[in-house]
Structure 1
Amino acid sequence: MPESPEVQVLADVLDETVTHRRIVGADVGEFRAWKTRDRPVEDLIGATITGVTRFGKHLDIDTDRGDLVVTLGRAGWVRHRVEDDADGEHTGDASDPPPPPAAVIATLELDDDTALEFTDAGEWLSVALSLVDHPQDVPAVKKLGPDPMSPTYTRADFDRITLGRRKQLKALLQEQESISGIGNAYSDEILHRAKIAPTTHAAALDDAEREALFQAVRDELADAVPARRSIPLPKLKQAKAAAMRVHGRTGEACPVCGGVVADVPGSKGSAQYCPTCQGPAD
């Protein structure tokens, strides 16, 4: 799932490459992805893109006719197609079969003979597109909590969501209404950096542990953005996976202490931690 660092890099690259471009064609191949039926995609034909930004894990393509808010979901992405260039998503050994191509859900043709393609590679549809007057008109954006990647995010913001909360930290970090932009992978990495078990309840943290977790949130996300900037957009997801210390690395050695990375209890293999660094997870 794309999380805030990758979506930030995607927004930055698209902002540099498609801002001021005029939309000359628009098509939605999967009608279920288009959420604002009273404003069809054809309303964007003739519009000029005025900027691309991020709200949590959502992408906002601003035009002079409204905002196209893109919810990427589990396996969504946006490609900037230049002529017939390859998407470059296969990074395995040459003998490995390439993964099935991502399905193109919608397309915006631009006036420089390029196009934005909105894709989904999941087993079920997760991409959602909404044409609105303001990004907050999309319910999922409106309910977002403070963004920890914002320079204005403070320890006080973090304390408001952790003090007294009887909720496991792994789940709390992914609660978009409390803290936006963090998903399954980065929550594992943040907790590993902070050396706190994922099943620890927020209410059980002392002040030093809350400070360590706050700093881990800020540092993990801040470090990821510059690390991804030099990566071609089609390879951002693979770069994210390769950079993980514990997430997705069950049975491997922890790069910090050498202990064995384990699955978080009850996660069915979807989340990982280091019992040596972080202590046991009950």
Structure 2
Amino acid sequence: MPELPEVESLSRFLGERLVGRSVARVYAVAVHALKTYDPPLSALEGRVFEGVERRGKFLDFGVGGLHLVMHLGRAGWVRWSDRLPEVPPRPGKGPLALRVRLGDPGDGAGFEVTEAGSQKHLAVYVVRDVLEVSGVARLGPDPLSEGFTVEAFAGLLAGESRQIKGVLRDQSVLAGIGNAYSDEILHAARMSPFKLAARLSEDEVARIYEAIGRTLREAVERARGLALKDLKAEKKSGLRVHGRKGEACPVCGDTIREVSFSDASMQYCPTCQTGGKVLADRRMSRLLK
């Protein structure tokens, strides 16, 4: 799933190429992905791109007073093309969900939004105010914003009875962190993913706060300047524990372990994070002592 660093890179890449250019045609290939109907998608045609911003894991395209907002879900992506096919796309079973063709004379450039796999979570909205998208309206603070201080972070955790892994992934608490980067942050902070947020000491809160900023900023910097087609590979190569079950921890050399859930999994290092304890598979609903 694209998370904050990848969506940040997407917004920068697309903003450099779209601002000041107009929309010629918008094709909704996967109608199920379109979550709004007023204004219609066609209302974007003839309008000019004013900016592209990241809001958590959402992409927000400002287009002539309207907002084209996207959440890429688990397997969505954006592909840029300097020359899109002339033939309009046909709805079908392929990955193409949306095509936006630019309107500059003789241009033909634009971008396509795709979604792989059988589970469809891609969401596209056209709204007058970005806060009309409920997922955007409920977002917590952005962890890369200037106002996100260690004191603000401590305030978010106060009274939280949930495990810290779940808190970091909750978009209403912090915007943009998902399964992969929460694993990376907790590994960098040397913290068990099962530790209750409300029971963290002042030092532990500070360690996680520092790991959030460092992990996300390093990931954003690694992706700077890369073509869109290279961002997924860069993300995977830059992860130290997530998706690396059975490999050696790059810090201590212990074997990276995994906890599986019904629809996801997380990875961690016992030596670095849990005092050597191996966490049981959550499907077993217990912790190995």
Provide the C-alpha distance between the structure 1 equivalents of 2:146 and 2:270, rounded to a whole number of angstroms.
32
Q: How many residues align?
A: 267
Distance 2:232 2:146 in 1: 25
SS of residue matched to 2:32: helix
Q: Pick the aligned partner of 1:215 from 210, 219, 234.
A: 210
* Matched residue, 2:284: none
Whether 1:200 and 2:195 are equivalent positions in the alignment is yes
SS in 2 for 1:199: coil
The residue that corresponds to 2:82 in the other structure is 82
Are 1:104 and 2:96 counterparts?
Answer: yes
Give yes or no for the alignment of 1:55 onto 2:47. Answer: no
- The alpha carbon displacement at 1:177 in A equals 0.4
3-state DSSP of counterpart to 1:130: strand
Alpha-carbon separation, structure 2, partners of 1:277 and 1:57: 29
- Checking the alignment, whether the CA contact within 8 Å between 1:81 and 1:115 is kept in structure 2 is yes
Return structure 1 stretches of 4+ with deviation > 6 angstroms.
none
Change (3 A) 1:178 1:102: farther
CA-CA distance at 1:81 after TM superposition: 1.3
Q: Distance in 2 between matches of 1:135 and 1:243?
A: 32
Matched, 1:227 2:222: yes
- 5 Å-filtered alignment, 1:115-130, equals 115-130=110-125
Report the Cα distance in structure 1 between the residues aligned to 2:217 and 2:153, rounded to whole angstroms: 16
Distance 1:102 1:191 in 2: 37
CA distance in 2, matches of 1:184, 1:157: 22
CA distance in 2, matches of 1:161, 1:151: 16
Give the structure-1-normalised TM-score. Answer: 0.91
Q: CA deviation at 1:127?
A: 1.1
Provide the TM-score with structure 2 as the length reference: 0.88
1:113 aligns with 2:105: no
Residue type matched to 2:80 in 1? H
Amino acid in structure 1 at the alignment position of 2:45: I
Give 1:5's aligned amino acid: P
One-letter code aligned to 2:101:
E
**Conserved 8 A contact 1:30-1:106:** yes
Contact residue 173 and residue 182 of structure 1 kept, 8 A: yes
Q: Which residue of 2 aligns with 1:92?
A: none
Q: Offset of 1:156 from its aligned partner? A: 2.0
The aligned counterpart of 2:4 is 4
Q: For residues 257 and 225 of structure 2, what CA distance do their matches in structure 1 show?
A: 31
Match of 1:273 in 2: 268
CA contact (8 A) 1:174 1:182 kept: yes
1:33-80 deviations in Å (ceiling 9; x for gaps) = 111112221111101001100000000010114000011111111111
Indicate whether 1:258 and 2:253 are aligned: yes
Structure 2 residue runs of 5 or longer lacking an equivalent are 86-92, 280-286
Equivalent of 2:158 in 149, 155, 163? 163
Alignment check: 8 A CA contact 1:263 1:269 kept:
no
Deviations 1:60-113 (CA, angstroms, capped at 9, x unpaired): 01011400001111111111112269xxxxxxxxxxxxxxx9711011110231
Please say if residues 198 and 264 of structure 1, whose CA atoms lie closer than 8 Å, have aligned partners that are also in contact.
no
Q: Cα distance 1:102–1:162, how it changes in 2: closer, same or farther (>3 A)?
A: farther
Distance 1:268 1:13, change over 3 A: closer
Q: Which amino acid aligns with 2:6?
A: E
Structure 2: which amino acid aligns with 1:61?
Answer: F
| Bigger mean CA offset, 115-124 vs 182-191 | 115-124
Q: Give the whole-Å Cα distance in 2 for the aligned partners of 1:6 and 1:113.
A: 26
Quick one: distance in 2 between partners of 1:262 and 1:229? 31
Residue identity over aligned pairs, in percent, reads 40
Give RMSD over aligned pairs: 1.7
Does the CA contact (< 8 Å) of 1:188 and 1:247 recur in 2?
A: yes
CA apart distance, 1:265:
6.0
The equivalent of 1:135 in structure 2 is: 130
Instruction: Determine if contact 2:84/2:108 at 8 Å carries over to the other structure.
Output: no
Whole-Å separation in 1 of the counterparts to 2:264 and 2:247: 13
Which ranges in structure 1 are unaligned for 5 or more consecutive residues? 86-100
Paired amino acid for 1:34: L
Query: Residue 66 of structure 2 corresponds to which residue in structure 1?
Result: 66
Q: 1:267–1:42: structure 2 CA closer, same or farther, 3 Å change rule?
A: closer
